[in-house]
Amino acid sequence: MTTEGAGLLLVLLAAVLWGLLGVFTAGLLAVGVGAIEIAFWRATFAGAAFALHASAVRSWRPFDRRTTLGVAVFAAVGVTAFYVAIARAVETGGIAVAFVLLYTAPAWVTALAGPILGERPARRQWAWVAVAILGVALVANGTDGGGTVAVGPAAIAWGLTAGLAYASYYLLGKRLLHGRSPEALYAVVLPLGALGIAPFVAWSAKPPLAWSLLAGLALVSTYAAYLVYGLGLKRTRASLAVVVATVEPVVAGALGWAVFGERLGAVGLVGGALVLTAAVAVGLTARGDPGAPQDPATPPRTPTNVA
């Protein structure tokens, strides 16, 4: 197998691990763990794993004053807001809807890159943003055509919030990762994000199954997925990684159907396809050199590596 082929398999594995996130979350909701508490434990356990990793490889590096402010903002948006929003999106609209709307992140990046990064998106990118908006409108009618998922305003709002917060991994995370190892950054950002969630948690008694699902969510679908994706990016082109990583919502939706009987209707499926097509297209049109290998410490233009 070629180096690039091995890299694509690693990216595919990461996408599958992220796709499991929806099953872990839905399973936890089913045993009575609230969405906000799920977000707290995910950030706490994954942060501990990254801290152990950073200590083992001695990659700690102090933050200067300016970077510290950026880390705090990233923790608030990329962890506190994102982890809560994706869990609430699964709770209110189901796995498929949550993960399709998560992939509006590239559209949010396009819309915000100008005021935040000073970039000027191409007209083609704005056209794909319009396609994504159309897709969201169709997803909002997800039960049309025989679906079992009730897509209400809360599900759409939480899903879009998750996509917006997800975009911060490019808008903020890219700069913070420059010259710094991912494990050292996440070892700080995730615990800070957990602190932001803690005051809002309604703590619940949890059976052993809940702790097992929380461990899987944090260690399999967060810590391991991040690392596997980074290894994949070392070996393949970022433009190809974007396409392969879009398997994530497909895996999540398939598992939601197989395990929980969730099913989007025909209109919702068309909308989902439009959102995912737009996500890939925005990512590909935003790259200067689609054949260039990517440093794993620098997330791709389309934030597909942080679910």
Q: Kindly report the backbone phi and psi dihedral angles of residue 237, in degrees, each rounded to the nearest multiple of 5, phi listed first.
A: -75, 140
User: Which pLDDT belongs to residue 129?
Assistant: 86
- On whether residue 303 sits in a domain, the answer given is no
What is the predicted pLDDT for the residue at 105? 86
Q: Is the pLDDT of residue 272 over 80?
A: yes
The Cα-based distances of 236 to 8, 18, 156, 245 in angstroms read 6, 19, 34, 12
pLDDT at 142: 62
SS3 label, residue 44: helix
In the structure encoding, which two tokens stand for residue 201, read together?
Answer: 């948690």
Asked, for residue 297, whether it belongs to a domain, the answer is: no
The Cα 279–Cα 307 span in angstroms is 14
CA distance 151 to 176: 36
Cα gap 81→194, rounded to integer Å: 10
Q: How are the residues of the chain apportioned to helix, strand and coil, as percentages rounded to the nearest 5?
A: 75, 0, 25
What is the number of other CB atoms lying within 10 angstroms of the CB of residue 263? 19
* Residue 39 pLDDT greater than 80, yes or no: yes
- For residue 296, tell me if it sits in a domain: no
User: Does residue 299 lie within any of the structural domains?
Assistant: no
242, two tokens: 């974007």
Tally of structural domains, the chain: 1
In a domain, 183, yes or no: yes
Mean of pLDDT over the chain: 84
Classify residue 298: in a domain, yes or no.
no
Please state, in angstroms and rounded to a whole number, the distance separating the CA atoms of residues 155 and 55: 39
Burial of 134 (0-12, 13-18, 19+ CB in 10 A): middle
| Residue 241 lies in domain | 3-285
Share of the chain above pLDDT 90, in %: 39
Q: Are 112 and 265 in contact (CB under 8 A)?
A: no
pLDDT digits (tens, 9 = 90+) for 245-258: 788 888 988 888 88
What is the distance between the alpha carbons of residues 125 and 281, in angstroms, rounded to a whole number? Answer: 8
- If you average pLDDT over residues 216-230, what whole number do you get? 92
- d(C-alpha 206, C-alpha 33), whole Å: 7
305 located within any domain: no
CA distance 83 to 169: 13
pLDDT above 70 for 163? yes
Asked if the structure places residue 151 within a domain, the reply is yes
